[in-house]
Amino acid sequence: MQGFIPSAACMVTCWAFLVAEALLIAEINVHLRRRRGKDVSLYGGGGDGNQDLEVISVKSMAQETLGAWGGHVATVAYLFLSYTSMVAYASKSGEVLSRLVAGVPEPVAGAAFTAALGLLVAGGGTGVTDRVNQLLTFVMIGLLLTIEVSAVAIGGGLSLPANANWEQVPAALPVIIFTLVFHDIAPVICAYLEGDLARIRLSILVGSLVPLVSLLVWDDIALGLATDLGGFDVQDMLKAEWSYTVVETFSLLAVGTSLIGTLLGASQFFIEQMTDLVSSSTKEHVNIKEKINKGIDAFRKKDGSGHPDVGVVAILEKNRLSYIATGIVVVPTIVIAATVPNSFSIATDIAGGYCMTILYGVLPPLMAWAIGSKLSGKSAGLADGELLEDNRERVDLTSAKPVLVGMGVFSVLMVLEQMSQDFFSFKAALVP
């Protein structure tokens, strides 16, 4: 146990670092989107809000800014991150559901939960998934408030335990980073909000505060219960059936909302890769979705609203590529989570300690530096550097260089710290 002060300080520090990295990713993504002319509506082109999203993944961002080596590093890190995160979420959801629904094995519960959310992402698309995720988030926040009020009412929570074990902070970093990272959804947000930097920044800041506050409150409750203040026992809060159900439901929603974000980002990544593969093989810049979804306009209403008429065939045709991409993510996840013992702990250590730190900590400053080195004069900005006629949202890279260096060094130190912990753990395991 760290104590509330060390753990809270660690959470806030990690959150501030991760938000800075997410904002940097957004700047780079929007810069590339505008260079490709994807967000024409921002320049008076009247973009069609009914079109499918064209997401520029982190892999493409790294390849365009750092070259082939950057693309390869980003691809490997992202694939490891996506699958380890999905395995962790599937494993934990199965654990929680098996407690809520007696008699259901953890692998079966986790597989059913993951598959259900996969169908939501593939069949509902980004718009429907976003609305469902918002609803689940609001319910989760309501349950968290209920838990906090209940804990305070019977003597727990809102406490500052006296113990402060700062030496245990490094070991907790991978789990905290894993819990707070949302960067896989950042490129999707950039596409969903059509490159509007003001709205993207607000979405990142507000959205990231929800898990931070939730974690701080949950941390306070857990440590308050564990310290047994004033004779308060952890069982006092959970002995009532409704309290137990509320806590487990909150845990399930926390896992579910995180799983949706990761699954949406990963499926969009594979959609982009399949699109690029077909485009390069035919040597034509053709959107694969236009090929797969031939005749989809026949399903649209005559009033031009763009919403297809209800029909199984129409839905399947429209989302065929999404089903393929989602299946690529979901099927291996379910198999690994069901067959690998202790998969949650293993996956969180790998994802938080290495994949997330490299992909969302080390690479973004390098990408920003590379973009800045290619731009010249006063137009050197991350988001609008080559669009001299657009005077909005410029970033002076000269003054940003120390920040980029600091972000990169901090990320590298976190990776080295995780490597040292794993080395000593492995060495200790070898000693009889």
Rg (CA), the chain: 23
Question: Which phi and psi (to 5°) does residue 396 adopt?
Answer: -80, 105
pLDDT at 184 over 90: no
Residue 47 lies in a domain: no
Q: Is there a domain that residue 187 lies in?
A: yes
Task: Report the alpha-carbon distance of residue 366 to residue 309 in Å, rounded.
Answer: 47
Of the two residues 39 and 264, the one the predictor is more confident about is 264
Tokens 């993207």 correspond to 200
Burial class (CB in 10 A: 0-12, 13-18, 19+), 181: buried
3-state class of 131 per DSSP?
Answer: helix
Quick one: pLDDT at residue 290? 56
pLDDT category of residue 161 using cuts at 50, 70 and 90: low
Q: How far is CA 100 from CA 94, 136, 241, 252, in A?
A: 10, 18, 11, 10
Question: Which amino acid is located at 358 in the chain?
Answer: I
Is 44 domain-assigned? no
Regarding pTM above 0.75, the answer is no
Which of 300, 316, 320 lies closest to 308 in space, CA to CA? 300
Q: In whole angstroms, give the CA distance from residue 197 to residue 23.
A: 9
Neighbours of 298 (CB within 10 A): 10
- Name the residue with higher pLDDT: 388 or 230: 230
**Mean pLDDT, rounded, for 258-276:** 85
Residue 414 scores a pLDDT above 60: yes
* Angle, helix 58-66 to helix 241-282, in steps of 10 degrees: 50
**Residue 265 forms part of a structural domain:** yes
Question: Percentage of the chain with pLDDT > 70?
Answer: 70
Q: Find, among 92, 203, 200, the residue nearest to 137 by Cα.
A: 203
pLDDT at 169 over 80: no
Which residues, in sequence order, are bridge partners of residue 308? 300
Domain ranges, residue 384: 4-36+52-430
Among residues 218, 199, 173, 217, the alpha carbon closest in space to that of 41 is found at 199
Residue 300's DSSP bridge partners are: 308
Give 162's pLDDT tier (boundaries 50, 70, 90).
Answer: low
CATH number at residue 150: 1.20.1740
What are the CB-based long-range contacts (under 8 Å, 24+) for 157-161? 157/217, 157/220, 157/221, 157/224, 157/225, 158/220, 158/224, 159/4, 159/220, 159/223, 159/224, 159/227, 159/229, 160/4, 160/5, 161/1, 161/3, 161/4, 161/223, 161/224, 161/226, 161/227
Q: How confident is residue 231, by pLDDT bands cut at 50, 70 and 90?
A: very low
- Provide the 3-class DSSP secondary structure of residue 101: coil
Query: Domain tally for the chain?
Result: 1
**pLDDT confidence bin for 375, thresholds 50/70/90:** low
Task: Quickly state the pLDDT bin for 273 (edges 50, 70, 90).
Answer: confident
pLDDT in tens, 19-63: 998 999 999 999 888 888 776 544 443 344 445 677 888 888 999
Please check whether residue 177 is in contact with residue 15, taking contact to mean a CB–CB distance below 8 angstroms. Answer: no
Q: Using alpha carbons, list the distances in angstroms from residue 8 to 5, 191, 212, 255, 357.
A: 5, 33, 10, 21, 20
Q: Please state, in angstroms and rounded to a whole number, the distance separating the CA atoms of residues 19 and 209.
A: 10
Average of pLDDT values for 315-319?
Answer: 54
- Sign of the Cα torsion 190, 193, 199, 202 reads negative
What is the pLDDT, as a whole number, of residue 330? 94
Q: Torsion-angle region of residue 194: left (phi > 0), alpha (psi -120 to 50) or beta?
A: left
217 three-state secondary structure = helix
Confidence of residue 135 (pLDDT cuts 50, 70, 90): very high
- Rounded average pLDDT over 411-427: 78
What's the pLDDT at 420? Answer: 80
| Higher per-residue pLDDT: 374 or 405 | 405
In a domain, 203, yes or no: yes
Residue 370 lies in a domain: yes
Token duo for residue 279: 């485009």
Report if residue 46 sits inside a domain. Answer: no
Residue 42 included in any domain: no
